[in-house]
């Protein structure tokens, strides 16, 4: 496992230990896949090594290596099949929430045992009728004295039955006011063995052979108030607070399989001879492998940079989201490419690549679907990159008679706004940006008028057929304006809009 310059010596040592362990025990993980049995003995050995404590502070018996340390563990254990998913699910299925929101008593009660691997965790949000729409969950928790009575069903729960602690979210209020303020959910640690708490079914999955993923049934389960994290109504805040860590850890758990897919593709292509040469000699395979290397490098950099920011106390929303989106898509692409490089052998169970390929399909879904990741990146990315994405002001250069970008434009002095002046400015905008609407802010910069004044006048021009406005559907107000043909004709003569490159043969122009 390649180290990054900002890793501490302890991070590097952890990476070395886990990589050596994965090399030594990879065959056991694959053997378990053949048998479709979870490798519990191998998991026990991982627990004995103390790696479940990578995230947990030393004062609670952990290694105190932060998000970076837990990502190193996730990447290395990712080479051991579903071992990684028990680890990662434990980290974002209780461990981080207890660290951030637990009382001192709760931390002392659970964290040391998690660090030793004695307690495994699960994240319990998804329900039969609510997935990405997590705010709509229907599982109900009603307080009765010093207990909450929880009733409902949960599904797609990784570690169902295997986990000891279930980080569960339930509805504690139906008040419209609480719902509007996202104060209707509460977080609980539900423990295996509580009366009325059971595994309803175990799913047959496309991948993750041997790992229990299933439905949970909660039939009036009595959970002590002491098992509540935070205050009643804090559930949504607790849920979303850990998403950036969860996404980073999911990205990290994809890195080990990506590396192994590349490993097997190279191994096979170096030894498979066709047309009197190893298939790695064919440029098509060289290009495929080159792409795999580039994507692996990029995915690791995105992931560990996000972890680095988390360890600095930053939210890292964009970085964690981008890492999750990219690394999981790369896992799909690289495992698919590895199968293609290996040909028929890649589709055979005798090599682990087909298993990696099947496992890869779930990664763009867990931890928030990649479609949701893109929505987050779009919405928050535009806000975060507002300065970097400052729009150019395209102005016609007198010498070239062509538009050039300007980023330092002095606003026009305040002046009286007239229809003719607005129409002339729209014509100039058309010449520089044919096909685009002008925003009110752009026009205000050039006209020295207030956006609301421009909007009002633009509507008057529209009534006369000289302009066309774009109405913001949410605000029901003018957002952008463009001239019509009639408006262009009134504002400037036809010659004004013409542009002909010097190489054009004028005999061909009419």
Give tens-digit pLDDT for 277-303.
999 999 999 999 999 999 999 999 999
Q: How large is the angle between the packed helices 243-271 and 317-342, nearest 10 degrees?
A: 20
- 210-221 pLDDT per residue, tens: 899 999 999 999
According to DSSP, residue 224 is labeled E
The pLDDT of residue 131:
86
Give me the sheet containing 438-439, strands edge to edge: 438-439, 477-483, 467-472
- Contact criterion met (CB below 8 Å) for 448 and 415: yes
According to DSSP, residue 131 is labeled S
- 394-416 pLDDT per residue, tens: 999 999 999 999 999 999 999 99
- Which H or E run includes 471? strand 467-472
Mean of pLDDT values over 45-52: 96
Residue 238 has pLDDT above 90, yes or no: yes
| DSSP letters spanning 320-378 | HHHHHHHHHHHHHHHHHHHHHHHGGGGGSTTSTHHHHHHHHTTTTTTTS-HHHHHHHHH
Look at 105-114, 174-183, 425-434 and tell me which has the smallest mean pLDDT. 174-183
What domains appear along the chain, each with residue ranges and CATH number?
A: 1-119 (1.10.540.10), 120-237 (2.40.110.10), 243-384 (1.20.140.10), 393-499 (1.10.10.10)
Mean of pLDDT values over 331-346: 98
The pLDDT of residue 299:
99
* Cα torsion through 444, 448, 453, 457, rounded to 10: -80
Q: Which structure tokens are listed for 315?
A: 């939210």
Quick one: pLDDT band at residue 126, thresholds 50, 70, 90?
A: very high
The pLDDT of residue 378:
97
The pLDDT of residue 5:
97
Q: Which structure tokens are listed for 8?
A: 């501490």
Q: In angstroms, rounded to a whole number, what is the distance separating the alpha carbons of residues 507 and 281?
A: 55
Q: In angstroms, rounded to a whole number, what is the distance separating the alpha carbons of residues 455 and 479?
A: 8
Mean of pLDDT values over 487-495: 96
Q: Which structure tokens are listed for 100?
A: 């951030």
- 374-388 pLDDT per residue, tens: 999 999 999 999 999
CA nearest to 169, candidates 218, 211, 213: 218
Number of H helices, E strands in the chain: 18, 15
Q: Which structure tokens are listed for 20?
A: 């050596």
Residue 87 has pLDDT above 90, yes or no: yes
Mean of pLDDT values over 241-266: 97
Q: What SS3 string covers 301-333? A: HHHHHHHHHHHCCCCCHHHHHHHHHHHHHHHHH
Total Cβ atoms within 10 A of residue 243: 18
The pLDDT of residue 210:
87
The pLDDT of residue 132:
82
Q: Which structure tokens are listed for 485?
A: 């043909």
Mean of pLDDT values over 30-34: 92
CA nearest to 352, candidates 20, 1, 28: 28
Q: Go through the chain and tell me how many residues it has.
A: 510
The pLDDT of residue 436:
98
Q: What SS3 string covers 241-280? A: HCHHHHHHHHHHHHHHHHHHHHHHHHHHHHHCEECCEEHH
Q: In angstroms, rounded to a whole number, what is the distance separating the alpha carbons of residues 208 and 360?
A: 9
Quick one: pLDDT band at residue 36, thresholds 50, 70, 90?
A: confident
Mean pLDDT of the chain: 96
The pLDDT of residue 486:
98
Quick one: pLDDT band at residue 50, thresholds 50, 70, 90?
A: very high
Q: Which structure tokens are listed for 148?
A: 């909450």
For 112, counting Cβ atoms within 10 Å of its Cβ (0-12 exposed, 13-18 middle, 19+ buried), the class is middle
**Could you give the angle at the alpha carbon of 257 between the alpha carbons of 251 and 260, nearest 5°?**
140
Q: Which structure tokens are listed for 454?
A: 């421009």
| Percentage of residues in the chain having pLDDT higher than 70 | 100
Q: In angstroms, rounded to a whole number, what is the distance separating the alpha carbons of residues 466 and 480?
A: 14
CA nearest to 466, candidates 491, 438, 441, 498: 491
Q: In angstroms, rounded to a whole number, what is the distance separating the alpha carbons of residues 481 and 496?
A: 20
Mean of pLDDT values over 343-358: 96
- Contact criterion met (CB below 8 Å) for 123 and 165: no
- Contact criterion met (CB below 8 Å) for 184 and 233: yes
C-alpha of 222 from chain center = 35
Residue 460 has pLDDT above 90, yes or no: yes
SS3 state at 64: coil
Mean of pLDDT values over 249-270: 98
Residue 447 has pLDDT above 90, yes or no: yes
Q: Which structure tokens are listed for 212?
A: 């229990």
Q: In angstroms, rounded to a whole number, what is the distance separating the alpha carbons of residues 40 and 373?
A: 33
SS3 state at 229: strand
Rg (CA), the chain: 30
Mean of pLDDT values over 116-124: 96
Question: What residues contact 159, with CB distance under 8 A and at least 6 apart?
Answer: 85, 86, 89, 90, 93, 120, 121, 122, 211, 212, 213
């Amino acid at each position: 496992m390649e180290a990054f310059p900002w890793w501490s010596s302890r991070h590097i040592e952890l990476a070395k230990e886990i990589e050596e362990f994965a090399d030594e025990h990879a065959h056991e993980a694959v053997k378990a896949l053949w048998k479709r049995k979870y490798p519990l003995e191998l998991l026990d050995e991982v627990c004995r090594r103390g790696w479940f404590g990578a995230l947990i502070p030393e004062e609670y018996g952990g290694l105190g290596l932060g998000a970076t340390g837990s990502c190193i563990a996730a990447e290395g254990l990712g080479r051991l099949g579903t071992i990684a998913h028990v680890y990662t699910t434990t980290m974002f299925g209780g461990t981080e929430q207890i660290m951030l929101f637990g009382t001192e008593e709760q931390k002392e009660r659970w964290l040391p045992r998690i660090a030793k691997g004695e307690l495994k965790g699960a994240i319990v949000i998804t329900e039969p009728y609510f997935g990405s729409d997590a705010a709509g969950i229907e599982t109900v928790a009603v307080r009765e004295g010093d207990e909450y009575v929880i009733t409902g069903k949960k599904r797609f729960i990784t570690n169902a039955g295997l986990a000891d602690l279930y980080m569960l979210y339930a509805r504690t209020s139906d008040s419209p006011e609480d719902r509007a303020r996202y104060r209707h959910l509460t977080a609980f640690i539900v423990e295996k063995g509580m009366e009325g708490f059971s595994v309803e079914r175990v799913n047959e999955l496309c991948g993750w052979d041997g790992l229990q993923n299933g439905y949970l049934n909660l039939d009036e389960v009595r959970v002590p108030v002491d098992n509540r994290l935070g205050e009643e109504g804090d559930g949504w805040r607790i849920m979303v607070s850990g998403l950036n860590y969860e996404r980073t850890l999911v990205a990290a758990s994809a890195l080990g399989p990506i590396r192994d897919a590349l490993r097997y593709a190279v191994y096979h292509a170096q030894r498979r001879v066709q047309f009197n040469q190893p298939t790695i000699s064919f440029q098509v395979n060289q290009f495929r492998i080159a792409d795999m290397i580039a994507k692996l490098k990029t995915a690791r950099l995105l992931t560990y940079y996000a972890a680095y920011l988390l360890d600095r106390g930053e939210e890292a929303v964009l970085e964690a989201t981008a890492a999750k989106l990219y690394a999981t898509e790369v896992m799909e692409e690289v495992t698919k490419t590895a199968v293609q490089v290996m040909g028929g052998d890649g589709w055979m169970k005798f090599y682990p690549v087909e298993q990696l390929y099947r496992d890869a399909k779930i990664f763009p879904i867990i931890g928030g679907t990649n479609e949701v990741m893109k929505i987050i990146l779009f919405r928050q990315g535009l806000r975060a990159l507002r300065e970097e994405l400052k729009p150019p002001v395209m102005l016609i250069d007198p010498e070239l008679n062509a538009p050039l970008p300007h980023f330092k434009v002095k606003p026009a002095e305040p002046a009286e706004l007239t229809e003719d002046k607005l129409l002339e400015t729209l014509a100039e905008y058309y010449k520089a940006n044919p096909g685009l609407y002008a925003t009110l802010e752009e026009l205000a910069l050039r006209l020295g008028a207030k956006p609301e004044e421009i909007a009002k006048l633009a509507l008057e021009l529209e009534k006369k057929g000289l302009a066309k406005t774009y109405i913001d559907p949410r605000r029901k107000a003018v957002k952008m304006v463009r001239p019509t043909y009639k408006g262009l004709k009134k504002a400037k003569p036809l010659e004004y809009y013409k542009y002909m490159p010097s190489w054009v043969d004028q005999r061909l122009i009419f």
